[in-house]
Structure 1
């Protein structure tokens, strides 16, 4: 594996901090880290695996920060975490067998719908209305957690936005939705990281400096979100989702 020079390490540290600051709240850190890692000259498969190393450390840090603030529904995410984990393992393995380009139009459509819905729901996410799950809602959430976990391992862009939207839809406020979504994102990141590592698609010389910076960025970002509340998280969610839509449209037309 190629060892990065000091200038490249500084580049990775800056990129990692900025990406994790945003990612710790609403996801979308891959918008910054994936192009940056491609810029370093790593192969696409190595970029995806190395990015998962940074993403795992980032989501672990933000999950711990949200947990310490009491924003995570532990009983709920405890049984969703394994679904997200094993779903992403399956997705990361299958991405080595078939291309994922066919997902882009579907992802663009879903992100547009998520953004429009959030914009028109003026007071959505300002206060929590979450109640105990009915059997039907629990079954649906099991399917959703598994599917999004698979999607994160297989393709990935927009995972944080989709997870946040799901928890908002189930009645959480923006901070609670962000907190719980990071735990599921940790599961999907960890599952796909382990799979990529076993397939030899992680560059640790690049991934460790990136991950260290993402720990710092996630700590600062999650604590900033807890202090600022929904007034900060909602605009950031809409902005990041809009950027994700633009990035996917750019990839399709290119």
Structure 2
């Protein structure tokens, strides 16, 4: 029992630290729970519980640092929540096979495009928030909220990339904004898992504590080290998510 807790808490800390900077922490935290013998359905719910608390902490820390662009994000939050609830509801009756293949190509594109475009997200080039930009932001919040509720892998990467490509934010602000929306979409899945009793609190609570600590460290690193740490880790995590999807497909 002690060894199991040590494994999930240690890897949970690392996962949350990475996730706070560039997303993709689920690649580390979920396998940690499976590694110690937690059944898949309980592992998913327990991981969502701990990760949601960690992403809440990251969101608050980013917000206090002034990195979250609330004039835009405040419009996106309700659309993200609606999309996530619709996605969680839809996944009960629709196969995710096609989405699995589509996301593989999309996440590879995001990672490779970012890798070869050296200036992407280096400077904050955001200029103004027009009505059309708000509509575009709400639309992708709805789409990625739905995606996170329905499937999930790579949501953080897609959000960060969208904030940079559509609005010209740098990687740090894009990461901060995406963390707020990611936490919002997590709520729908978390409520669904909790309602069905799929959260193992004996593992979830200690794991959540260490993931909150990890998210705090990761957020502070992102704020103080800036693009020099966020962009490389973003590319690495995007490609790792793609590798995971390829492995599942094969």
Task: Please state which band the TM-score falls in when normalised by the shorter chain.
Answer: over 0.9
For 1:101-140, list aligned pairs within 5 A.
101-140=97-136
Distance 2:45 2:97 in 1: 18
The answer to whether structure 1 residue 89 and structure 2 residue 64 are counterparts is: no
The answer to whether structure 1 residue 221 and structure 2 residue 218 are counterparts is: yes
Distance 1:50 1:153 in 2: 16
Alpha-carbon offset, residue 236 of structure 1: 0.5
Picking from 204, 208, 214, the partner of 1:211 is 208
42-51 or 161-170, larger mean C-alpha shift: 42-51
Distance 2:88 2:206 in 1: 23
* Equivalent residues of 1:93, 1:195 under 8 A apart: no
130-139 or 209-218, larger mean C-alpha shift: 130-139
The answer to whether structure 1 residue 41 and structure 2 residue 69 are counterparts is: no
For 1:1-254, list aligned pairs within 5 A.
5-169=1-165, 170-253=167-250
Alpha-carbon offset, residue 117 of structure 1: 1.9
The CA RMSD over aligned residues, in Å, is 1.4
**What is the DSSP-based 3-state SS (H/G/I as helix, E as strand, rest coil) of the residue aligned with 2:198?**
coil
1:181-215 Cα offsets, whole Å, 9 max, x none, are: 10001101122111221122222222111111100
Distance 1:166 1:116 in 2: 15
139-148 or 82-91, larger mean C-alpha shift: 82-91
Alpha-carbon offset, residue 99 of structure 1: 3.6
**What is the DSSP-based 3-state SS (H/G/I as helix, E as strand, rest coil) of the residue aligned with 1:127?**
coil
Alpha-carbon offset, residue 125 of structure 1: 1.1
Give the TM-score, by structure 2 length: 0.95
1:142-194 Cα offsets, whole Å, 9 max, x none, are: 12101111111111110110111011111101111111110001101122111
Distance 2:210 2:74 in 1: 27
* Equivalent residues of 1:91, 1:192 under 8 A apart: no
Distance 1:84 1:66 in 2: 19
**What is the DSSP-based 3-state SS (H/G/I as helix, E as strand, rest coil) of the residue aligned with 2:232?**
helix
List gaps (5 residues or longer) in structure 2.
none
**Structure 1 residues 86 and 201 mapped into 2: Cα distance closer, same or farther (>3 Å)?**
farther
Distance 1:140 1:146 in 2: 10
List gaps (5 residues or longer) in structure 1.
none
* Equivalent residues of 1:89, 1:195 under 8 A apart: no
**What is the DSSP-based 3-state SS (H/G/I as helix, E as strand, rest coil) of the residue aligned with 1:20?**
helix
